[in-house]
Amino acid sequence: MDIIYEVFNADLPRQGPGDNESTKNAFSYLMELPSEPCILDVGCGNGMQTLELARLTNGRIIALDNHQPYLDELDKRVKNLNFSHRITTINQSMLDMKFEVNRFDIIWSEGAAYIYGFEKALEDWPFFLKEKGYLVISELCWFKENAPKEIYDYLMSEYPVMKSVKENKTTINSKGLNLISHFNIPESSWWDNYYIPVEKNINKLHKKYQHDNETLELLKLFSVEIKMFRNYSEYYGYTFFIMRKK
């Protein structure tokens, strides 16, 4: 885990694909919100989207992650932007969330719900939502059928429960949620805030661990992930699903 947190450190713009425009776009579908909505950001990382949500609302946000350096960085950014009265960070695993029933107007999770399990999140997280509350999740999906064997085998080894956008829409409906809208985040969201900074980290770490073959092998795995996206981005990516509790 140490090398993972060195590659995806708190200084990155964010710890997964995404961008403020996509966050803003997803939020634009949320209607009839109270003037100060109560929001939970699950798997917030260092909080690029948390801060954007604070700009988009007058609400109070709980930002949850289980890696303290990410939360420390978010706390610094929160203080610099004078959001301390509206954003609270909590070091807690999403696997062990303890909140009251019907507490939140919005539960938000960008690129992190896979840790809990997308389908399981659709079942469990609405418990914490108020009536007609919103569940907004970006999830890794297949965009096209008949993906080349190389990328299909790779992603099935990394994320075997990955589904197509169409399959996830069917799952959402089966869980009793209203799907308000969905859209794919742009390819630039993977590069500008994520893979380009990650590649710079990998290059630095190659020098740092040049005599540590085990770590170099791990770094190679991260480079393979980036190479796969470079070659096959038309076949997969993150899709925002904007859902509402019935």
| Helix/strand number for the chain, H first, E second | 10, 8
| Block residue for tokens 């954003």 | 87
Domain residue limits, the chain = 15-188+235-245
> CB 143: neighbour CB atoms within 10 A?
14
CA-to-CA distance for 222 and 95, rounded, in angstroms?
25
Instruction: Say which CATH class 15-188+235-245 falls into.
Output: alpha beta
Long-range contacts of 114-118 (CB under 8 A, 24+ apart): 114/139, 114/140, 114/159, 115/43, 116/42, 117/161, 118/161, 118/163, 118/168, 118/171
Displacement of CA 81 from its chain's centroid (Å)? 22
- Tell me the residue type at 23: T
pLDDT tens per residue, range 5-28: 999 999 999 999 999 999 999 999
Contact present, 185 and 237 (Cβ < 8 Å): yes
The pair of structure tokens assigned to 135 is: 């569940």
Do the beta carbons of residue 155 and residue 236 sit within 8 Å? yes
Instruction: Please give the model's pTM, rounded to 2 decimal places.
Output: 0.96
Note the pLDDT tens digit of each residue in 54-108.
999 999 999 999 999 999 999 999 999 999 999 999 999 999 999 999 999 999 9
Averaged pLDDT for residues 198-227: 95
Query: Chain-wide mean pLDDT for the chain?
Result: 97
How far is C-alpha 63 from the chain's CA centre? 12
